Amino acid sequence: MRAKRSKKYRKLMHQYELTFGFREAYQVLVDSNFLQQVHNFKMDLLPALERTVQGKVKPLLTKCSLAAITAAQPINPKTGKPFRPYHLPPPTILPLRHCSHNPESEPIDEVDCLLSLLSPNAEVKKNKEHYILATADPAVKKSDNNNDNQQRKRKRDEEREEEQALRRARNLRVRARSIPGVPIIYVKRSVMVLEPMSTPSENVREGVERDKFRVGLPEPQPKPDEAAEGAAKKKIPGLKKAKGPNPLSMKKPKKRAAESGPAKTPKNSDATQASKANVAGDQPDGEEGGAPKTKRRRRHHKSGPREENEDGAPSTEAGQAMEVDA
Ligand SMILES: [Zn+2]
């Protein structure tokens, strides 16, 4: 299973390389939810990422993602600053990606930040920096089932917040898929998954494939027409097939003609005479030519070859047919 998946992912990344110019080490933009889930499921960031894309990676954290992570942290009363989150790897493993969205370089919404890096131009959606997006659904907090009224209200608020966070995470993925050439990694039930190519990516890839195809073939346009013609031609053999049984049934009239009119050609008359001799019961003489004759008969009447030999007449009839054919 694992081998099958890694093969699939290698193939997928190869397609990103061919179509969109991705190269190792792949730059991976990781978001806050992703880091949280990697920590929750006790994954090792770098090896897990490299196993997923089947190649070397360079993970990056934007300043806005960092701001989102620290904003969610409780304040350390001793320092007056947020606690360093457990799920935030050191900068040696996860360096900062400086993103200046405004002159003050104030952090903006994480989703907006990531999308602006994935596609700097909102009009022409293009992932020109070849980023991979690593994201996840937000971790669901386990809330204790207290029946306290105040607790229940807090729980409702939490649920609403979770729902919003989930919607934001899904929205990020949906919008990232709309940009062609953005590989998306996400954590799903303790497994790191590389999404299949999105439809916009697939469309670009197919365009590239078609162009390659055109180079090889000088006339791509008549192809469908030829195919249609081919289909039409196939119908004609079908009609011949319908005629097919008729030539087979025609054989009998031919034989009858040979029998009724013995003097068509000298050869034919000889054959009829020989056959008449066979009918007379001169079996041993007719055996030389008789062996193939009977064989032919057998093909047509597998059920009763013996009877024919005893009769003699049917075999000679077949023999004539053969001669007429030849
Ligand atoms: Zn930013």
Task: Parse the chain into domains and list their residue ranges.
Answer: 2-216, 254-325
The pLDDT of residue 305 is 47
Summarize pLDDT for 315-325 with one digit per residue, the tens. Answer: 444 444 444 44
- Provide mean pLDDT across the span 5-11: 94
22 C-beta neighbours (distance < 10 Å), count: 21
Domain spanning 2-216: CATH 3.40.710.10: no
- pLDDT confidence bin for 3, thresholds 50/70/90: confident
- pLDDT confidence bin for 310, thresholds 50/70/90: very low
Summarize pLDDT for 215-262 with one digit per residue, the tens. Answer: 666 555 555 555 555 555 455 454 455 556 666 666 665 555 555 545
- What's the longest Cα–Cα distance across the chain? 126
Q: How many angstroms is it from 112 CA to the middle of ligand 1?
A: 8
Q: Which amino acid is at 263?
A: A
The pLDDT of residue 104 is 78
The pLDDT of residue 313 is 45
For the chain, how far is it from start to end, CA to CA, in angstroms? Answer: 63
The pLDDT of residue 117 is 95
Q: How many angstroms is it from 70 CA to the middle of ligand 1?
A: 14
Summarize pLDDT for 102-156 with one digit per residue, the tens. Answer: 777 789 999 999 999 999 987 889 999 999 999 999 987 765 666 677 788 888 8
Range name among 28-42, 183-197, 265-279 with the lowest pLDDT average: 265-279
Summarize pLDDT for 48-100 with one digit per residue, the tens. Answer: 999 999 999 999 999 999 999 999 899 999 998 989 999 999 999 999 998 88
Q: How many angstroms is it from 106 CA to the middle of ligand 1?
A: 8
The pLDDT of residue 135 is 96
Q: How many angstroms is it from 63 CA to the middle of ligand 1?
A: 5
Which three-class secondary structure state does DSSP give residue 203?
Answer: helix
- Provide mean pLDDT across the span 1-30: 92
Token couple for 155 = 């729980």
- List phi, psi (to 5°) of 62: -80, 160
Q: How many angstroms is it from 316 CA to the middle of ligand 1?
A: 97
Q: Where are the beta strands (DSSP E) in 183-299?
A: 184-188, 191-194
Q: How many angstroms is it from 83 CA to the middle of ligand 1?
A: 21
Q: How many angstroms is it from 60 CA to the middle of ligand 1?
A: 12
The pLDDT of residue 281 is 45
Q: How many angstroms is it from 102 CA to the middle of ligand 1?
A: 9
The pLDDT of residue 190 is 87
The pLDDT of residue 297 is 55
Q: How many angstroms is it from 195 CA to the middle of ligand 1?
A: 24
Position 282 pLDDT exceeds 50? no
Q: How many angstroms is it from 115 CA to the middle of ligand 1?
A: 9
Token couple for 99 = 């993103």
Spacing of C-alpha 307 from chain mean position: 59
The pLDDT of residue 136 is 95
Residue 35 pairs in a beta bridge with: none
The pLDDT of residue 218 is 58
Residues with CB under 5 A from ligand 1 (ion): 62, 64, 99, 113
Range name among 197-201, 210-214, 243-247 with the lowest pLDDT average: 243-247
Summarize pLDDT for 162-183 with one digit per residue, the tens. Answer: 899 999 999 999 999 999 999 9
